[in-house]
Chain A
Amino acid sequence: MDLMPLSANTVSARASAATRRVVLGGVLLAGACVLGLVEAGVASSLPGVRLGLANIAVLVALVSLGEGPALAVSILRVGIVGLATGSLFGPTSALAIAGALAAWAAMALALRGSVRFSLVGVSIAGSAAHVTAQFLVAALLAGAPGVLRLASFSLLASLLFGIATGLVARLVISRLEGSAATGR
Chain B
Amino acid sequence: MTRADWILAFAIVVLAVLVGPAVRAATASAPSSTVGIAGPSGTSEVSLFAESELHVAGLDGQVVVVVKDGTARVVDSSCPDRVCIRSGAIAHPGDAIVCIPNGVTLRIGGERRDGLDAVVR
Interface residues of A (CB under 8 A from B): 44, 46-48, 90-92, 95, 115-118, 120-121, 124-125, 128, 138, 141-153, 155-156, 158-159, 163
* Of the residues B8, B16, B23, B82, contact of A145 by C-beta under 8 Å: B23
**In the complex, which residue of chain B has the Cβ closest to the Cβ of A142?**
B98
* Of the residues B8, B95, B103, contact of A124 by C-beta under 8 Å: B8
Count chain B residues whose beta carbon lies closer than 8 angstroms to a beta carbon of A. 38
**In the complex, which residue of chain A has the Cβ closest to the Cβ of B109?**
A146
Contact A124 B12 (CB under 8 A): yes
Q: A116-B2, A120-B5, A145-B96 are in contact. List 15 more A-B contacts (CB 8 A).
A: A44-B81, A48-B83, A124-B5, A141-B98, A143-B112, A144-B96, A144-B98, A144-B107, A146-B90, A146-B96, A148-B23, A151-B16, A152-B20, A155-B12, A159-B16
Interface of B is mostly: mixed
With A158-B12, A159-B13 as contacts: A92 and B1 at CB distance below 8 Å: no
B57 within 8 A of A: no
Shortest CB–CB separation between residue B101 and chain A, in angstroms?
6
CA A57 to CA B13, docked complex, whole Å? 25
Interface of A is mostly: helix
Report 22 cross-chain contacts, Cβ distance below 8 Å, ordered by A residue: A47-B81, A47-B86, A90-B101, A92-B101, A117-B8, A118-B4, A120-B5, A121-B4, A124-B8, A128-B15, A141-B100, A143-B114, A145-B27, A146-B90, A149-B19, A150-B87, A152-B19, A156-B13, A156-B16, A159-B12, A159-B13, A159-B16
Interface residues of B (CB under 8 A from A): 1-2, 4-5, 8-9, 12-13, 15-17, 19-20, 23-24, 26-27, 59, 81-83, 86-87, 90, 94-96, 98, 100-101, 103, 105, 107-108, 112, 114, 119, 121
Shortest CB–CB separation between residue A160 and chain B, in angstroms?
10
